[in-house]
Amino acid sequence: MTTRRNFIKTSAFASAALLVNKSDAAELKLHQNSFTPSKPIVLSTWNFGLKANEAAWEILIKNGKALDAVEAGVKIPEGDPTERSVGYGGRPDRDGRVTLDACIMDENANIGSVACLEFIKHPISVARAVMEKTPHVMLVGDGAFQFALSQGFKKENLLVEASEKEWQDWLKSSNYKPIVNIENHDTIGMIALDANGDLSGACTTSGMAYKMHGRVGDSPIIGAGLYVDNEIGAATATGHGEEVIRIAGCHLVVELMRQGKSPEDACKEAVGRVVNLTAKRKKNLKDIQVGFIALNKKGEYGSYCVQSGFNYAVYDANGNNLIDADYYLK
């Protein structure tokens, strides 16, 4: 993980940031201690969030809608074959098939989602089409694919050479073990507050590498991988989807903000649920990573995760900054 995710050794509230690896130096500025809520603002998971935020920001800064911003933002890693956990270039399932999960939610609780979608480079845009052009909220598998074709999306091979080669190597052992913070998964979840004060979110992933064919994680599940309530705030998740679904993670984070918790405290309490249930189920917490990011209606934001290694990008009036999330397992 440290090879790609070179992050700033700071927390959301740290006063200064240290750039660890200059090759990732995408306009990283010092993170300010002053945590003045501002809008517009956009947050997204992991360091590919930096580039994604740039695309979102271009829309937000022109008074564009949060919904358009989050779609445009997550399309950046979706379309980038070097990002191997999202969209085109994503790692395949154990049968060598790249199956994608995505969902989107706007300020009016309009929702759209696709799961286990193959051959389409931008599942987030298909999710948006589900939201806008069908009477339904979720399409899966071949149904999602046929719908995408009917909407003019092109069928493309998404399995890039590097992913195919890794999968061939994996087949030698065929041992399914998602490793915490190793890059055989990762999702871009993005949440934004626009100049008009409206919130939206998007979430997209190729899921866990070498998952069973048909496996769906939290990312396309509204309430698990993403939730937006325009009166309260928005949250999105990354990490082991099964654990996020178990606690209906992002809905929980938003409900905790509704009860008055700060975004960071809401994420912390949701992670606490993961921790408690993991103990109850007698599983090893060290094998689990779950990270949440959250943003409230005022533009305050925060995050929390199970263990170190999760970071997120925030673009606001202070610029585009990568922040290390605080974590439970110290």
Q: Rule CB under 6 A: which residues touch ligand ASP?
A: 185-187, 205, 207-208, 217-219, 238-241
Q: What are the catalytic residues?
A: 187
Q: Can you say whether residue 120 is alpha, beta or left, with left for phi > 0 and alpha for psi between -120 and 50 degrees?
A: beta
Q: Which is nearer to ligand ASP, 60 or 208 (CB)?
A: 208
- The CA distances from residue 148 to 90, 155, 238, 251, in Å, are 19, 9, 25, 28
Q: Which is nearer to ligand ASP, 185 or 251 (CB)?
A: 185
Q: Which is nearer to ligand ASP, 64 or 217 (CB)?
A: 217
Return the DSSP state at 115. E
Distance from C-alpha of 68 to C-alpha of 128, rounded to nearest angstrom: 10
Q: How far is the CB of 30 from ligand ASP (least distance, A)?
A: 28
Report residue 327 as tokens.
Answer: 């974590």
Q: Confirm if 117 and 100 have CB atoms less than 8 A apart.
A: yes
Q: How far is the CB of 102 from ligand ASP (least distance, A)?
A: 11
Strand spans (E) along 194-285? 199-205, 226-229, 233-239
Q: Is 306 strand, coil or helix?
A: strand
Q: How far is the CB of 208 from ligand ASP (least distance, A)?
A: 5
Q: Which residues pair with 228 in a beta bridge?
A: 234
Distance from C-alpha of 30 to C-alpha of 242, rounded to nearest angstrom: 35
Q: How far is the CB of 178 from ligand ASP (least distance, A)?
A: 8
Q: Which is nearer to ligand ASP, 207 or 299 (CB)?
A: 207
Return the DSSP state at 179. P
Distance from C-alpha of 216 to C-alpha of 153, rounded to nearest angstrom: 22
Distance from C-alpha of 177 to C-alpha of 106, rounded to nearest angstrom: 34
Q: How far is the CB of 49 from ligand ASP (least distance, A)?
A: 12
Q: Which is nearer to ligand ASP, 6 or 219 (CB)?
A: 219
Q: Which is nearer to ligand ASP, 78 or 218 (CB)?
A: 218
Q: Are strands 301-307 and 327-329 parallel, antiparallel or unpaired?
A: parallel
Q: Among 209, 207, 198, which residue's Cα sits nearest to residue 162? A: 209
Distance from C-alpha of 166 to C-alpha of 170, rounded to nearest angstrom: 6
